[in-house]
Amino acid sequence: MIDATVDTFEGLTGEGHVLVDIWGPQCQPCLALMPAVEALAGSYGDRVRFVKVEAPENRKICRDLRVAGLPAYLTMRDGVEVERLTSNTTTPEQIEEAIVRLPNGAPAVGPPIPEHLRG
């Protein structure tokens, strides 16, 4: 997973297939899902770029993307948002399904998400 800033976000998300994980250090659902998202990066990272945005440090990105709540997971294709998951009840399975809906997102090549990390 790649940490993005205001200066690097466009370059990281402007080309190809991307999952953007917008999170905050005080967001418990964000922290709870982080290991599962990292596992997904291991499974799909050869075809989908995984980008993390720490919301409090990158308010401009959140404003530009109109992110109103955390956690937020956006799938993007060539810089254009394809799908958005924003809920404190988002599950690892929902995130994986959004990745799979991106062209070239499936099938996974790595190990499945461990059972204890599933929602």
Active site residues: 27, 30
Q: Measured on CA atoms in the order 97, 45, 2, 6, is the torsion positive or negative?
A: negative
Q: In whole angstroms, what is the distance from residue 68 CA to residue 118 CA?
A: 25
Lookup: tokens for 4:
């993005």
Largest CA distance in the chain: 37
Radius of gyration of the chain (CA): 13
